[in-house]
Amino acid sequence: MTKIKRLLSSRKFWAAVVGLLLVILKAWQPDFPLGEEELTSLIYVLVAYILGTGIEDGLSRRHPSSPLD
């Protein structure tokens, strides 16, 4: 149960869900007032956010005596 709880509290998960919902919405409702370029740009921002959050999480869990310090 803790894995599900961690997943539902993950910022990366919710950013991915938002991106997926936007793509599905645009495919299902082609006249949705969001152009292809705008959707692509928004997806790029979400991907950058997910990667940045992942890097931040990874670096915050690093062992303090790591050779990269």
Instruction: Tell me the residue type at 31.
Output: D
Q: What is the band of 5 on the pLDDT scale with cuts at 50, 70, 90? A: very high
Q: What is the pTM of this model?
A: 0.77
Q: What pLDDT, in 10s, does the model give residues 11-53?
A: 999 999 999 999 999 999 999 999 999 999 999 999 999 999 9
How distant, in Å, are the alpha carbons of 17, 20, 31, 69 from that of 46? Answer: 10, 10, 22, 29
